[in-house]
Structure 1
Amino acid sequence: MATAPVEITGGGYLVRVDVSDLPAPLPVFTDELGDGVVSGSRVVVEASLSASDRPGLLGQVGNGRVHPVAGPSGMDAVSRLVRESLGRAVETSVGEASQGLIPGMVLGDTSGQTAADTQLYIDTGLSHLTAVSGANVAIVTTAAVLVCRLLTLGPRVQVGAAAVALAGFVGLVGTEPSVLRASVTGLVGLLAVINSTRMEPIHGLCLALIGLLLWDPDLAVAYGFALSVAATAGIIALFPLLYRPLARTGWPDILVRAIAVAVAADLVTMPIIALMAGRVSMVSVLANVLVAPAVAPVTVLGLIAAGLSLLPGGLATLPLMIIEPCTWWIHTVATWCAGLPNATVPASPAWVLVGYGWVLVGVISGHPLKTAGVVCALFLWAARTDPLPPEIPLESLRVHHVPTVEEVGTAPPGTQVIVVEEGDGRASIRPTVTREGIPVLFPQRDGPVTLHVDGTQHAADGRF
C-alpha cells in the first residue's frame, strides 16, 4: 500500500510504500509514476535498494519505478472520493487564490497548490494550515463541544459529540499516519481547554507520545512528529505564562489569546525548523495572528462543503462562497508578509534559543510592549543595514538555456546556471535550484535575478 506521492523540487517523486515484513514504510524515489498511485492504492515497486542517510528503523531507500495494481479500498477510497468531489466543487466556485488553500486547509490536499504557493506558506509560517494538523482536529472537536453547550447538553454528551466529529473528520481526510498523529495531538489540545481540572494536559500529551511511539517507533526521527509534539507542549506550558502579562496591556482578549498561542508555538518549534532547514521565518507570529480569525470558518464550513460536494445539485457552492473571503485574506497576508524585508533569515538552533529566550523573559517579566518595540526596531535596522554580498556576473558562468522547465534535467555536466525561457506561471517568492544545487533562473517570469558569492539569489523587486 502506498501513501500519496510527494513531488520533489528538481523533478521526481517520493512514495512511501508499506511492505510486509519491513518495520517501517519503504521510501521510494521515482521519476516514473504510473497513473493511479494515490494514498491507499496497491502498487508494484521495481527498485534498487541503497543505504539511507536518514536515521530510522529501515535504513534503506529505493530508486526505481512504482506501478499501481489496485485502487484504494475502505476509508482510503472514501477519502479519495471526497477529495475529488471537493476539488471539482472548488474549481467551479472560487477564485485562483483559494483553489489551492481550501482543499489543503480542509483535507490536507495540497495537490492544487503551485510550488510558489507552497513555498509562500512555508516562508510565512503558515504551512501548518495546509496540512492536517492538531489544530484542525482541535477546531473540529471544539466546534462539536460548543454546539452541545449551546444546546445545554451535559459533559458526557459533549465528549461523545467530539469523538463522533473526530471519527467523521478522519473518515473524510483519510487514515494516513500524519492524520492519526494530528488526531492524537489535537485531542490533547482539546483536553487542555475543557478538562484541565481533572487531568493535567501535559500528562495526556506524554501518554499520547508514548502510545504513538509504541504504534510507530519510526516517528522518533520524524520532523513532522517533533513539530506537532513541540507545538502542543509549548501551547500547554507557555500559554499561561504569556497570557497573563499580555492581558495587562488592555488589548482585546481574542487578540491576546491569539498572540500568546502563536508565540508559544513559534518559540518551541523555531529551533527545530532551524535545525531542519537552516532558515527561520521572522514573520510567522505576525502572519498567524493576522489569519487566526479566518482559520476556524474555513475548516468548519469547508468540511460541510466537502460533505455536500458528494450530493447532486451543487450544494457545496454556498459554503465555499462564504469562506472564499477568508482564504483570500490568508493568501493576501502570506503574500504581504513574505514581501517584508528579512521575512526569512539563516539561523542556527542556538541563536534561535538565545533570541527567543530573551523575548520570553521580556514578556514574562511584565514588559511585553517594550519587548515588542525592541524586536521591531531590530527587525527594521537589520532590513536597512543588511548589505548584499558581491554579485557574480552571469557571463562568467557556464549557462545552459532551456525552453521549458521540464527540460531542466537535460543540462550537460559542468553547467553552473540554468535559464528557463518560458514565462508561464506565477512569479516565484523563493530562489529555485536543482537537486544538485544548480541555480535555475526564470527571467521572463521573475524578472532580473542576480547571483552572489554566498550562493544566494536576489530578485530585483526584492521578492527574494
Structure 2
Amino acid sequence: MRELRLLPAAGLLWLVVLSMIISSSWLFPLLLVLLGVGCAAVLKEWGQALVIGSLSTVGGMIAWIRLKTAEGFELSQPVAGTVQSTKRLGSGVQLINLQVTGYPVDLPVFLHSDQNVQPQTVVTVAGKIESDSRVGIGEFTMTAQSVEVISAPRGYAAWVNGVRDNFQTAVVNTVGESSQGLIPGMVLGDTRLQDPVETQLYIDTGLSHLSAVSGSNVAILVSSVVVVLYYATVGPRIRVVVSLAVLGIYLLLVGGEPSVLRAAATGMVSLLAVLNSSRIEPMHGLCLAIIVLLLWDSNLAIHYGFILSITATAGIILLFPLLYKALARIPAPDIVIRALAVAIAADVVTMPIIALMSRQLSLVAVLANVLVDAMVAPVTLIGLMAVVLSMLPGSLEFFALKLIEPCTYWIFQVATWCQRLPRSTIDVAPGWLGILWIVCAVMWLIVALHYGLIKIILAAYAVFFMLGLWNARLPPQVDPRELNYVVLDDESEISQVPAGIELIIVRDATGRAAERPTITPAGIPVLFPNRDGEVNLHTDGSQHASDGRF
C-alpha cells in the first residue's frame, strides 16, 4: 500500500481545485480541506494530514488567485498576444489559443479564415468579445474579424516552426494521401494536414490518441532508449539520465503545449506500469504527475483531455495485471496479450467519461487499437529519424518516410474498416441514467474478464455485430441535380466558389483516386467523377464510392 501514499493528497487537490473553479468561492473547497485533514487526524495519520492539508490549500489558493485575476482583467481591443497553438475545427474555422499578458489562461480566438498563423507569433486581434460560457478560469472568448502579425517567431520558436514546416513539406511530397495527416501528427503532434473527416474517423474508432502526440509516443521513445542502453551494458543511473535527456529534447521539438506535457507525464507512468518498475511505483508516479500538473495549470482540473489521460493511465495501472492474467489463457503471442490488456484497460475505464462527453461510445476501439498496436512504435521512432534527416541536405528523409508509409496506411485502413462496421458506435441515452448503464456494463465486463469468460464475451461481441450487419442500411441517396451545384475544370478553382453552393464537381482527372471523402473547409462535398469514379451522396452527409474505397 506504500505506492498509494500520495493518492489522498492528489485526489483532494483535484477536488479542491475543481470545486474552486466551479463555485468561484472558498466555502466548499475549505470544507473539503477540513474534511480531508479531519479524516487523516482521526486515523492518526499526522503526516498525511500535513501533506494533504498543505497541498490542497496551496492548490486552492493558486486557483483562486487565477480566478480573481481573470475576473478583474479588462480586455480592450485590439487584443495583443502570442499565439500558443492553432487548430482547424472545420467549416473554415480555426481556434487560436492566444497568450495575453496578465491574463491567467489562454484566450480562445475563433478565426473564420484560412490565414496561416504559426505558434509563438505576436499578433493583434480585432473582433467580437463575448463571455465564455464554458466552466473554467477564462472569462472571455473572441471571434476575430482580423489578425495582424506584429512579429514572426524568433529563436527557438522559429526553429521549431521551421522543422515542422520542412517535415510537413517532405511528407506531402513523399507519401500518399492516407498517410499525410497521420505521420506529422504521430511524430510531432502537428495535425494541420488532418481534415475534419479524418479527425472524426479516428475519434469514432478510438484512435484519436494516435493522430497527435500522446502518452504512447513518450512511452515508446523512452522505453526504446532504455532497452538500447541496457543491451549496451550502461548502468541504471546513466540510463535514467540519458532517457530524461532524450525526453527533454523531444519535448523541445514538439513544443510545450498542455496536451504534450500531459502526454509526457502519463506516458512515463504507463511505461512504469507495464514494465512493473520496482524503483518507483506507477500509482505513486501518477499521483505525483497529477499534483505537478494541477499546480502548474489549475484549468486542467476541468479539461476532458486531462481527465481521460489520468483515468486511462490509472486503468492501465490497476487493471493490466488482472487482465493480463485472464487473457494469458488465449493461445496468442505475449506481445498481443499485453497489447490487448492495455487496450481493454484503457478503454473500459474511460467509457463513462466518453459517454458523458460526447453521448456516444465506440464499440470498435479495443479491436482497432489491438490491430494497429504493432505499427505505432515504427512510426514514432523511424518518424523521428525522418525529422532529423529532413533538417539535412539531400532529401534523405525520403527513405525513412517510405519505410513507415505502409504502417500509417494500415492504421488508416483499419480505422476506415472499423468505422464502417455496423454499430461501430452507439448513442448513449440522455441524462445520468445512460451513464449509469455504461458504468454497470463496464463493471460486469471487468468481472467477466476476471473469471476468464473470454469466449463468451467474444461470441456476444460477434453476434452483436452480425445483427448490426443484418440490419445495416445506408441512408437514402441524394440526387446531385436537386442541389445547388457548380462544375469546375480544376481543383484550384474551389476557393473561388461563391456562397450558397451545396456541391462542387471537378472535371480534372489528374492525380490518384481519393481514399476518403473530399470536402471543403466549409463542409461542401467535392466530387471528382473522372478521377474517383461514381461517388454517391447520402442524406446524412456521407459519401460512398461505388468500388468500396470509402
Letter in 2 for 1:119: Q
**Which residue pairs with 1:319 in the alignment?**
400
2:194 is the counterpart of 1:151: no
Q: 1:91 aligns with which of 156, 172, 181?
A: 172
Q: Secondary structure at the match of 2:101?
A: coil
Distance 2:175 2:92 in 1: 30
TM-score after normalising by structure 1 = 0.87
Q: Cα distance 1:96–1:429, how it changes in 2: closer, same or farther (>3 A)?
A: closer
Equivalent residue for 1:192, pick from 252, 255, 273: 273
Question: Which residue is equivalent to 1:172?
Answer: 253
Corresponding residue number in structure 1 for 2:349:
268
Matched, 1:104 2:193: no
Residues 49, 63 of structure 1: 8 Å contact kept:
yes
**Residue aligning to 2:467:** 381
Identify which range, 308-317 or 67-76, moves more after superposition. Answer: 67-76
Alpha-carbon offset, residue 297 of structure 1? 0.9
1:48 aligns with 2:128: yes
Amino acid at match of 1:287: A
After superposition, give the CA deviation of every residue in 1:81-117 in whole Å (9 maximum; x if it has no partner). Answer: 2212222322333333222221111001121233332
Q: Which amino acid aligns with 1:448?
A: N
Separation in 1, partners of 2:395, 2:184: 17
Cα contact 1:76–1:175 (8 A) shared by 2: no
1:113 counterpart SS class: coil
Number of the residue aligned with 1:60: 140
Structure 1 residue 197: Cα displacement: 2.2
2:454 is matched with which residue? 368
Aligned partner of residue 85 in structure 2, secondary structure: coil
Match in the other structure for 2:222: 141
1:390-412 Cα offsets, whole Å, 9 max, x none, are x69989xx96546687689834x
SS of 1:46's equivalent?
strand
- Contact 1:422 1:444 (8 Å CA) reproduced: yes
What SS class does the counterpart of residue 84 from structure 1 fall into?
helix
Is the 8 Å Cα contact of residues 274 and 320 (structure 2) preserved in structure 1? no
Give the residue type in structure 2 aligned to 1:155. Answer: P
> Helix, strand or coil for the counterpart of 1:3?
strand
Rounded to whole Å, the distance in 2 between the matches of 1:328 and 1:430 is: 18
Q: Secondary structure at the match of 1:248?
A: coil
Give the Å deviation of 1:253.
0.8
1:223 to 2:309 alignment: no
The alpha-carbon deviation at position 14 of structure 1 amounts to 1.1
Q: What residue is the counterpart of 1:414 in the other structure?
A: none
Query: Structure 1 unaligned runs (5+)?
Result: 412-416
Q: 1:93 to 1:402 in 2, by over 3 A?
A: closer
Aligned equivalents of 2:519, 2:404: Cα separation in 1 = 32
CA distance in 2, matches of 1:13, 1:133: 22
Letter in 2 for 1:283: V
Larger radius of gyration: 2
Match of 1:234 in 2: 315
Q: Distance in 2 between matches of 1:269 and 1:402?
A: 45
Asked if the contact 1:245/1:363 (under 8 Å) is kept, the reply is yes
In structure 2, relative to structure 1, the CA distance for the partners of 1:355 and 1:433 (3 Å cut) is farther
> Equivalent residue for 1:283?
364
Identity %: 44
CA distance in 2, matches of 1:171, 1:84: 16
Partner of 2:425: 344
Structure 1 position 449 matched with structure 2 position 537 = yes
Greater Cα offset, 236-245 or 78-87: 78-87
User: 1:422–1:350: structure 2 CA closer, same or farther, 3 Å change rule?
Assistant: farther
Q: Structure 1 residues 255, 215: closer, same or farther in 2, change over 3 A?
A: same
Aligned partner of 1:277: which letter?
S
Contact 2:128 2:143 in 1 (8 A): yes
**Counterpart AA for 1:343:** S
CA distance in 1, matches of 2:332, 2:182: 30
Deviation of 1:333 (Å): 1.5
- When residues 3 and 388 of structure 1 are mapped into structure 2, their CA distance, relative to the original with a 3 A threshold, is same
Secondary structure of 1:152's match? coil
Specify the SS of the correspondent of 2:83: coil
Q: 1:428 to 1:54 in 2, by over 3 A?
A: farther
Q: Secondary structure at the match of 1:111?
A: coil
Counterpart CA distance in 2 for 1:51 and 1:203 is 39
Are 1:423 and 1:442, in contact at CA under 8 Å, matched by a contact in 2?
Answer: no
Residue 410 of structure 1: which of 474, 491, 499 is its match?
499
Aligned equivalents of 1:361, 1:298: Cα separation in 2: 35
**CA distance 1:41–1:457, change in 2 (3 Å):** closer
* CA–CA distance in structure 2, aligned partners of residues 375 and 313 of structure 1: 51
Corresponding residue for residue 210 of structure 2: 129
1:300 shift after superposition? 0.6
Give 5+ residue unaligned stretches, structure 2.
Answer: 1-81, 430-434, 488-492
Contact 1:399 1:418 in 2 (8 A): yes
* Equivalent position amino acid for 2:426 in 1: V
Q: Helix, strand or coil: the match of 1:257?
A: helix
Q: How many residues align?
A: 448
Cα distance between partner residues in 2 of 1:306 and 1:10: 31
Deviations 1:188-233 (A, max 9, x none): 2233245632332112111211211111111122222122112211
When residues 312 and 393 of structure 1 are mapped into structure 2, their CA distance, relative to the original with a 3 A threshold, is closer
